[in-house]
A and B are shown apart, each in its own frame.
Chain A
Amino acid sequence: MSAAKPILSVEHLTIRFGGLVAIDDLSFNAAEGEITALIGPNGAGKTTAFNCITGFYKPDVGRMSFNHPGGKTYYLERMDGFRIAQAGVVRSFQNIRLFPAMSVAENLMVAQHVALMRASMFSIAGFLRLPSFLKAEREARDLARHWLELTGLSDEADTLAGSLPYGSQRRLEIARAMCAGPKLLCLDEPAAGLNPSESLALNELLLKIRDDHKMSILLIEHDMSVVMQISDRINVLEQGRLIAEGTPVEIRNNPDVIRAYLGVEDEDEVAAVVGKGA
């Protein structure tokens, strides 16, 4: 951990659903300008942790502080989901959630709603088509074009989002999240359902977002080829608890992680697997 404040710091996060402890005393940090991955077997609580961070669930215990690069600190456990997004933590969804009956371009314009609404002064400047609003609208379009270009969707700008092929919908969701002006981009399994060449392109896109746009990314992913190649730090969850934290190389050789993933219980077998892996 560097001396700089992490952009997101999760401390002692716990959430129960009835008797089930979905997340148990989870603490981890996401560093600014890095890609931090959250991995773990099915049901480990990755998406639940995401839902807590982005305000869709309220945790029972824990503090999640978001240190905005501008200097302000937000305590996410106290905020409504939409306010968290306005503060700069924007997420995507495991099961894509676009606005299917609206065009690709419109999806990206809705993502810029907060800025545009301010420019339209509660629609008054919008109705009068004041220059200030038209300028904001033009800038919003330019930003939309920029992200369409980066995600390779420029030709699809005016088609309906719901009629895009699956891989394009995934990319559109990332473009839409970026249009919302995040400081921390939270991606919930962005590679799910992508073929190998598509997930390779996704890797490049995410690295580009990190490097060219100085974006901090928090990533949940199942696809190890994505996680291992692009993550700076990896946190491994099992049954709601953090069992390992480290760089991709460290994680790859961690016996606890291998046991969690392969379900090997015998210490000798673990040693054998780790030995082979190393």
Chain B
Amino acid sequence: MSLATSRPNYVALLRDSGAAAVVAALLAFPLLGFKLDASARGLALDVRLMWVVYAAAAVFAGRLFFTLIIQHYGVHFVDRITRAELLPRYVPNRLTRYASRHHVGLAMIVFAVLLPWFGFSDRNLIDKATLILIYVMLGWGLNIVVGLAGLLDLGYVAFYAVGAYSYALLSSTFGLSFWICLPLAGLFAGAAGLALGFPVLRLRGDYLAIVTLGFGEIVREVIINWQVVTGGPNGLAGIERPTFFGLQLLPYAKNGGTTFADFFGLSYSPDQRIIFLYYLILVLALFTNLFTLRIRKLPIGRAWEALREDEIACRSLGLNPTMIKLSAFAIGASFAGFAGSFFATRQGFISPESFTFIESAIILSIVVLGGMGSQIGIVLAALLLVGLPEWFRDLAEFRMVAFGAAMVLIMVWRPQGLLAHRDPTLHLNDGSKP
């Protein structure tokens, strides 16, 4: 308060902003100051010292601006922004109520189902929506492990990779169709989940996170180095596209089959495949959601949550922590496997580059920012974290700034996650069924 009334001390102010600018310049010098250009003549180093100056100037101005605002309006102004009093809290708070959440969930599903038929929907939009839905599904799958069972998993992408490679290899080697490979990919990924689960049974929290991180890297290294099977860094190309109940979504029928367009007497359009893939991932994701909602109310789901709350108490009540952890790992992993085989069939090409640690980090961020355990929160977080950078693709290298900004904003706005709320799995008193 005293700050707000006193005259600003301009010397201190300038010194403070200057210091911030110097730090910014030091950071920007290696990060922004140089750029490698790949040209026909080979690599060339492009020195961009002006960028460093811009960065320092921007930080100087920003720091000055915010300090002045604080001095003028008082510290409480900033407090109110960060405590989100000026941001709409109304919406998330309403969403934490069961009835309205139920309706919002239904509305979102209806919107998702109708999306391809809106006037504004084009190929690009459906493609992006498909990508977002992959992450929604991965988020829902990881939520079983992290949100319900409380096992911090930083290597979730490994199971996604196992699923993707399972489909690619099964379909190219044995000629199996997508619909046979899908459960198999889930099975293999679930087995990988068990394989990870065994050594980490005694670990919790940070230690578990480190080992799962290592597991993710091991899987990626194996894919890179096992060239005979996985194609190594070159990846696998020409992965079979999925069929619509045996009807090919291609311009011309292959191997004596029938195309979707011919069968229904339509003219071929690439949109058909895009929309089909969109609905496919929508169904897979909704299946994941339905599964989670159901299993939460079964003994095993309650045991997962109890394990998250207190492992020792679980033990004292006769719950076998080994079984509970392994089932969470295996089931969470198999959903990543489903998503992975969808990813492979959608891309038609997979390589180890799609399964780096950053993918695990993004999926985990989606779960955490969504509000651990909240199914709708995960959808919103996926929209923000995956959607924003996609829509900001025009910004080229600054695209990831949108990712970072979305992350920081969510944490400032709702530190507990977008929709941190948990429905009890049963009610004893009001007579309603769970």
A residues near B (Cβ < 8 Å) are 54-56, 81-83, 85-86, 90-93, 97-103, 105-106, 109-111, 113-114, 116-117, 120, 122-123, 126-127, 141, 144-145, 148, 154-155, 157-158, 176-177, 180
Contact = CB atoms under 8 A, between A and B. Distances in A.
A102 B424 contact: yes
Chain A CB count within 10 A is highest, among B305, B314, B318, B320, for: B318
7 contacts: A85-B316, A93-B316, A98-B309, A109-B299, A113-B299, A127-B294, A158-B427
B303 A101 contact: no
A120 B428 contact: no
B57 interface: no
A148 B427 CA distance: 13
Contacts of A155: 429
Sorting the interface of chain B by its residue count into under 10, 10 to 19, 20 to 34 or 35 or more gives 20 to 34
Contacts of A55: 315
A126 B310 contact: no
Contacts of A93: 312-313, 316
A99 B309 contact: yes
Q: Interface majority SS on A: helix, strand, loop or mixed?
A: helix
Interface of B: 294-295, 298-300, 302-303, 305-306, 308-310, 312-321, 422, 424-430
B363 to A, nearest CB: 23
B306 A82 contact: no
Nearest to B423: A103
Chain A CB count within 10 A is highest, among B303, B310, B422, B430, for: B310
Given A85-B315, A113-B302, A113-B319, A144 B310 contact: no
Contacts of B316: 54, 81-82, 85, 90-93, 97, 177
Given A99-B305, A105-B428, A127-B294, 17 more contacts: A82-B320, A90-B318, A93-B313, A97-B316, A101-B308, A109-B299, A110-B319, A113-B303, A113-B317, A117-B299, A123-B298, A123-B300, A126-B299, A148-B428, A157-B427, A177-B316, A180-B318
A120 B317 contact: no
Contacts of B427: 105, 157-158
B305 A141 contact: no
B315 A126 contact: no
A168 B298 CA distance: 26
Contacts of A180: 317-318
B306 A114 contact: no
A93 B428 CA distance: 26
A81 B311 CA distance: 12
Nearest to A176: B317
Contacts of A145: 428
A90 B317 contact: yes
B287 to A, nearest CB: 12
B422 A101 contact: yes
Chain B CB count within 10 A is highest, among A110, A117, A144, A158, for: A110
Contacts of A54: 316
A144 B317 contact: no
Contact of A99 (B310, B318, B320, B426): B310
A114 B428 contact: no
B106 to A, nearest CB: 22
Contacts of B302: 102, 106, 109-110, 113
A117 B300 contact: yes
Given A120-B300, A145-B428, A111 B317 contact: yes
A60 to B, nearest CB: 21
Contacts of A103: 424, 426
Contact of A102 (B295, B300, B306): B306
A142 to B, nearest CB: 10
A85 B315 CA distance: 8
Given A101-B422, A110-B306, A123-B300, A158 B317 contact: no
Chain A CB count within 10 A is highest, among B294, B295, B299, B302, for: B299
Nearest to B428: A157
A120 B298 contact: yes
Contacts of A110: 302-303, 306, 314, 317, 319
B319 A106 contact: no
A56 B313 CA distance: 11
Contacts of B317: 82, 85, 90, 110-111, 113, 176-177, 180
A126 B298 contact: yes
B215 to A, nearest CB: 26
Nearest to B301: A123
Nearest to A125: B298
